[in-house]
Homo-oligomer: A and B are copies of this chain.
Amino acid sequence: MPIYDAPTKDMQFVLHDVLDVSAQDIPGYEDLDREFTDAILGEAGKIAMEVMQPLNATGDEEGCVLENGVVRTPKGFKEAFDQVREGGWTALDCDPEYGGQGLPYVMSTAVGEMFSSANMAFNMYQGLTHGAYNAIHAHGSEQQKATYLPKMVSCEWGGTMNLTEPHCGTDLGLIRTKAEPQEDGSFRISGQKIWISAGEHDMCDNIIHLVLAKIPGGPDGVKGISLFIVPKFLVNEDGSLGERNSLSCGGLEKKMGIHGNATCVMNYDGAVGYLIGEEHKGMRAMFTMMNEARLGVGLQGYAQGVVAYQNALGFAKDRLQGRDATGVKAPEKPADPIIVHPDVRRNLMDQKSFVEGARAFTFWGASLIDRSHKAGDDEAEAMISLLTPVIKGFLTDKGFETTVLAQQTLGGSGFTREWGLEQFVRDCRITMIYEGTNGIQSLDLVGRKLAQNGGKTVMAFFEMVKAFIKENEGNAALKADFLDPLKAASKDLQAAGMYFMQNGMKNPNAALSGSYDFMHLFGHVCLGLMWARMGKAALTALEGGASDTEFYETKLATGRYYMARQLPMTGTHLARIESGAEPVMALEAANF
């Protein structure tokens, strides 16, 4: 059976040695000293390991069942969900005005990684509720907030996002769901939505659906989309539950993974809905949900990599096959553990160096969100907006790759249900698709984010990398192993940006043909920067006489691996980008 071991120590390293959170000039961060964060992570780790992880394989095996319009979640899910809610874990970074604990987002991110590694399908129920909470919190009226948020913070009520319809996913301008205005100011919503995660289930008293729909007579395309609150049960003035709304789950999707989460077809049949914000401005409100949701999906991607790596490592230390080519390591045993073999190590180091880099990258991203939201810093806001498609696209692609590598470490055992690795692969696969496919992320990056603020933000990113290199150039222990490879990778990224500038105006396809490679190139530079910062933090700790020298030495060795063996990918990405549109666009559609 698979295990999960909450990586509290490594999270503490990122929060304190690397990000130095308690010294940051962000309201709320002053409380984040080592002891406080250790206490939270310690408790969260227990919930993850003791309550969530034991339900991961059984939830996958059993899945969700739809009977007479009711979705039954797997055995134990409801009891576990109650325990999580009652422990306050769904309210961590929510507004205290509505019962939240008001902790910084960086802390709910760290906790979220643990929960997601332990049981991704289970944690989607609260994750989607949190997304819906965010949209209502940012765009709802005071009355809407007072009515819905307290129960959503506590997850007594769940929340969903309803975007996709059978004929449209990415291109929301095509949606057909209608919202007919009523005399009392409400609307009647009619249409079908598909792939609605947690659309119907038995763990909450009510489910608050956020639904994109078109008000007749509005503009065509995305400019005519509005966002509505459509509760499963209408809410009376006193806050009690009233009538059942005319909406229903029309079916469950059979899918590759996340079987413990109900993916629903939702039918709205003149259901009562309430407009959020202004008419026809639904996309803006939806993007509030989506931006954070995309960070959350990036996190899911590498979090599956984390737990997959842990299980691969355990196997590699136990499994005896063959002998070390440089001399027997375990003469008392019939064979050496396979971790002695260089190719097994290559595989493990690829996994380890990615997940640790991804963790630092994501926590840094979360701190930028805190800086934006809590300190009102527009530059931080612009930076995280630029990085969001990279976090979503790169971390899910590489997270999936990591689960596949981990599965490979186990050989034949990796293909069996029993060892659990194949579930991590199947569950992780969706992260490359939902909240906008990774192809769409790369278009968002190249087509929109690069040009935001007239390119100032991407220039600020390059300046940040440059400043870090310059600041530390005198540090011989950093220079050759960390700074030089980072400089080379960053140069490749700038060359790619330059190629787009010089060619994209004449022919947009010259940029769009390279968007996916650009997203990966950018991701490698970000992880390179993170590893350079982690390398510096480790050296600083060692120079400061830290007692746990093995931890910091290991960190340095892992970083050196990433710089030596992963960063060279930037050259290939650049070569592909510079090959331009011609190879990609040469064929007529009919000749494929």
Contacts and interface: CB of A to CB of B under 8 A. Distances in A.
A502 B571 CA distance: 25
Contacts of A553: 591
A592 B313 contact: yes
Contacts of A195: 412
Nearest to A442: B343
One complex includes copies of this chain to the number of 2
A437 interface: yes
A255 interface: yes
Contact of A572 (B167, B337, B571): B571
Interface in A575-592: 575-576, 579, 581, 583-587, 589, 591-592
B579 A565 contact: yes
Contact of A325 (B325, B349, B404, B508): B508
Contacts of A412: 164, 169, 194-195, 433-434
A174 interface: yes
Contact of A439 (B173, B344, B569): B344
Contact of A171 (B173, B322, B325, B568): B322
A512 B341 contact: yes
A568 B576 contact: yes
Contact of A507 (B256, B326, B400): B326
B581 A342 contact: yes
A46 interface: no
A414 interface: yes
Nearest to A555: B591
- Smallest CB-CB A-B distances: 5 pairs: A568-B575, A256-B422, A254-B417, A342-B512, A171-B321
Interface string A415-456: 111100010011001101110011100110000000000000
Contact of A337 (B341, B342, B585, B589): B589
A45 B423 CA distance: 34
Contact of A170 (B325, B348, B411, B579): B411
A326 B256 contact: no
A561 interface: yes
* Interface bin, chain A: 35 or more
Interface in A379-434: 400, 404, 407-408, 411-412, 414-418, 422, 425-426, 429-430, 432-434
Given A512-B325, A584-B342, A584-B349, A429 B439 contact: no
A408 B352 contact: no
Nearest to A515: B343
Contacts of A343: 439, 442-443, 512-513, 515-516
Nearest to A312: B592
A23 interface: no
B591 A554 contact: yes
24 contacts: A170-B322, A171-B321, A174-B335, A253-B416, A255-B417, A256-B422, A256-B426, A257-B415, A317-B589, A326-B507, A337-B589, A342-B509, A342-B585, A343-B512, A347-B516, A408-B438, A411-B437, A414-B433, A415-B430, A422-B429, A560-B583, A568-B575, A571-B572, A572-B572
Contact of A571 (B320, B414, B571): B571
A426 B352 CA distance: 24
Contacts of A67: none
Residue among A335, A412, A417 with max Cβ neighbours from chain B (10 Å): A412
A326 B505 CA distance: 11
Q: Which of A352, A415, A439, A443 has the most CB of B within 10 A?
A: A415
Contacts of A459: none
Interface in A325-365: 325-326, 334-335, 337, 339-349, 352
A460 interface: no
Interface string A310-323: 00010011001110
Interface string A177-209: 000000000000000001100000000000000
A474 to B, nearest CB: 24
Interface string A538-572: 00000000000010011001101100110011011
B568 A583 contact: no
Nearest to A569: B572
Nearest to A258: B415
A592 B433 contact: no
A168 interface: yes
A303 to B, nearest CB: 18
Contacts of A342: 509, 512-513, 515, 581, 584-585
A500 to B, nearest CB: 12
B589 A561 contact: no
Interface in A507-552: 507-509, 512-513, 515-516, 550
